Structure 1
Amino acid sequence: MYRLPQITRSDDPSLLLARMRAEGPLVRARVPMLGVVWMTTTDAGARALLKDERVTRDVAVARGKALSQAYWWIPKSVSPLLESLLTKDGPDHRRLRGLVDQAFAKHTIGDLRPDLVASADRLLDGLSGTVDLGPAYTRALPFDAIVALLGLHTDIVPRLRQGIGPLSDVAGPVSILKAIWHLRSLNPQLREEIRRARDAPRPGLLSTLAARMGDALSEDELLAMLFTLFVAGHETTVHLLNNALLVLCDRPELRPALTTDERARELLVEEVMRIDSPVSMTTVAYVREDFTFEGVPLKRGDRISALLIGANHDPARVEAPEEFRADRRPNPHLGFGHGPHVCLGMQLARLEASVGIERLLARFPDYRLAAGRPGWTKRIGFRGPDRLMVRLD
């Protein structure tokens, strides 16, 4: 049986992924805190799974009890956060996603570029010498982007940053309890922010959604959506940007073109998304009914996930998948998922990564690693350096 950390924490996962594909299109893996999960190993299998209605992310459908019952130990003040876009399917998922799809469309996200450039420059103004780019830059920039998109008041941002922060360290039971404690204290503050946005509308997605409370969504659903945007969207971009900046430490010859050529940055971001797959697997789904998938008999309630990094290294879909090609075209990767649950914030993630690379290279074109090769994050299902200590000259 395979173990997820073997893949996400390997400097070169291609050999292990090839061995998994040789075993079959669906294999058993052990995921920390979840247990045994069936995982696809191919691009075709991942695409088929992500559009198969015989599996669901709603544990209540497959196992006969709601998430709040399955995770009874979570405080009641936090349990509404379980009812998010990530755990819904069918009509509920379409209803909630339909409320925010337009806000994350490519042409809408493009309007945020000036805000992102200003935020990146402000963050870089305070950096010099030897710095861990994670907390100082690559984690702060995506956070600022979501704050701007939502239109949050500045007075809640420090508390929100403090409350959301521990979620980035979730790797085991102790860190989960710590994160839940912080979320519990943040819950009433976010509910108050929702009410302020409803009573005194202002620019931003939060006021738009708050105006729909009652007829289109509940306050609990809106609260869960806010956390989904900060946690799911934020973490993806942090690791994407970290991976891209680490690649440029290994391939400094790519830097001159990336400084001025937006298309070159876009292609680089897509290749980093493919080969490193910052989100290495999809949210675990549950089998609704007994059926055979990819030749494997599955039972109702079985856990299953699309291994995105496996799909992105599948030679049946990608030419020479083990090679990094900064200008790879076409690049049909599954780094942002596929089907109804394709990443809502993928256009925002792409823009954040492009701006983050551009502004750093404009300010520090010769940055370099300062403390040797970093290790890999222990976050479950994510792949990226656990730190990025660089020298800024």
Structure 2
Amino acid sequence: MRWVEAIGRDIERNPTGDSEIHEEARAAAAELGGYTDTMVASRRAQRSSGRMAGDDVLGRLVALQNVAHLRLEERRLREVLLGLLVAGVEPIAASISLALGELIDRPGALQVARAAAASGDDDKLWAVLREALRFSPPRLMLARSCGQSHHLAQGTADEVVVPAGATVVVATAAAAFDPARVDEPEHFRVDRPEHPDFLFGEGPHACVARHVATAAVREACKALLGHEFHLSGPLRRDGGRPISFPVGLAPLRAAG
């Protein structure tokens, strides 16, 4: 997680290109790459001796290296694992913590989420969790470099020309509270209708694993919602991301 945090900080929270943050990320990527190479070599040795490489993500990727057209060479396999950790595992874990942390402070919404989880109403449960993540998103903003000159909001009063090479910071957390896009944005609504997706994005650059992430967050929260739970310590954050979320669990008491 230390490696993932350092890499994620450089990708997501370093719009000015701070050299110290960038070098920490490079060092973390090198360490993670070395660890990955060692793990891959171990799994490949298992496979060469006639055993399975492991029934997990790494084992399946090693097995797929024998499929010629996939071109899953060492560097590509390392990139896939790094992408899964930085863009998959860590944000999903953060989303689970952030959504539950938001519900703890909203007893009414927590009750609706518990009822949906107990009845198996996945759509209703996700609607509540999605609203919680609108208030406490795993990413507050995105920083991108403009490849070519672009007219933003062309033909409107907000039109601006973004020059090629400019760094553009997109404040998605703030956009989720734009009254022009979200009705009554300051209100937490468990029945909120669909609105622009500030969590996974839309169009050609939407999150490719959005369905996997949705299921993972929903099912993890569903398991915890079957218990009484409370924060047993402070929710610690680093740049908005939870790094410690201590929760105390107890059996859920029956109503009445």
8 Å CA contact retained: 2:131, 2:192: yes
User: Once structures 1 and 2 are overlaid, which stretch shifts more, 300-309 or 236-245?
Assistant: 300-309
Q: Does 1:387 align with 2:238?
A: no
Equivalent residue number for residue 376 of structure 1:
237
Task: Note if contact 2:44-2:62 (Cα within 8 Å) is conserved in structure 1.
Answer: no
Note if 1:206 corresponds to 2:55.
no
Three-state SS of the structure 1 residue aligned to 2:248 is strand
1:321 maps onto 2:179 in alignment:
no
Aligned partner of 2:200 in structure 1 is 336
Q: Does 1:246 align with 2:101?
A: yes
Q: Which of 354, 358, 370 is the matching residue for 2:222?
A: 358
Q: What's the counterpart of residue 211 of structure 2? A: 347
The match for 1:227 is 82
Determine if the alignment matches structure 1 residue 285 to structure 2 residue 134: no
Match of residue 6 from structure 2: none
> Offset of 1:190 from its aligned partner?
4.2
Q: Give the match's secondary structure for 1:277.
A: coil
Q: What's the C-alpha RMSD, in Å, of the aligned pairs?
A: 3.3
Aligned position for 2:31: 182
Q: Distance in 1 between matches of 2:178 and 2:191?
A: 19
Q: Aligned equivalents of 2:47 and 2:182: distance in 1?
A: 47
Shift of 1:257: 0.8
Provide closer, same or farther for how the CA distance between residues 184 and 332 of structure 1 changes in structure 2, counting only shifts above 3 A: closer
For 1:34, the equivalent position in structure 2 comes to: 15
Matched residue of 2:184: which SS?
Answer: coil
Q: Could you list the runs of 5+ residues in structure 2 that have no partner in the other structure?
A: 1-11, 154-158, 251-256
| AA in 1 matched with 2:134 | R
Residues 2-37 of structure 1: per-residue CA shift (max 9 Å, x gap): xxxxxxxxxxxxxxxxxxxxxxxxxxxxx854318x
Whole-Å Cα distance in 2 between the matches of residues 329 and 299 of structure 1? 36
Give, in whole Å, the separation in 2 of the partners of 1:252 and 1:333: 25
**Which residue of the partner structure matches residue 88 of structure 1?**
none
| One of 84, 89, 92 as aligned partner of 1:237 | 92
Q: 1:296 aligns with which of 160, 176, 182?
A: 160
Q: How many residues align?
A: 222
Aligned letter for 2:105?
D
Deviating more after overlay: 177-186 vs 227-236: 177-186
In 2 relative to 1, CA 211–249 (structure 1 residues): closer, same or farther, beyond 3 Å? same
TM-score with structure 1 length normalisation? 0.49
Residue among 118, 132, 144 paired with 1:260? 118
Q: Measure, in 1, the Cα distance between the counterparts of 2:125 and 2:37.
A: 40
Bigger relative CO (Cα 8 Å, ≥ 6 apart): 1
| Deviation of the 1:216 alpha carbon | 4.4
CA distance in 2, matches of 1:271, 1:197: 45
Unaligned runs of 5+ residues in structure 1 are 1-30, 37-70, 72-170
**For the residues of structure 2 that align with 1:215 and 1:259, how far apart are their CA atoms?**
39
1:385–1:218 distance in 2 versus 1, CA, 3 Å: closer
1:50-199 aligned at under 5 Å gives the runs 172=21, 176=25, 179-180=28-29, 182-192=31-41, 195=44
Kindly tell me: are residues 303 and 344 of structure 1, through their superposed partners in 2, closer, same or farther at Cα, counting changes over 3 Å?
A: same
How far the C-alpha of 1:335 sits from its partner, in A, is 0.6
Helix, strand or coil at the partner of 1:280:
coil
Structure 1 residues 178 and 276 mapped into 2: Cα distance closer, same or farther (>3 Å)?
A: same
Change (3 A) 1:178 1:391: farther
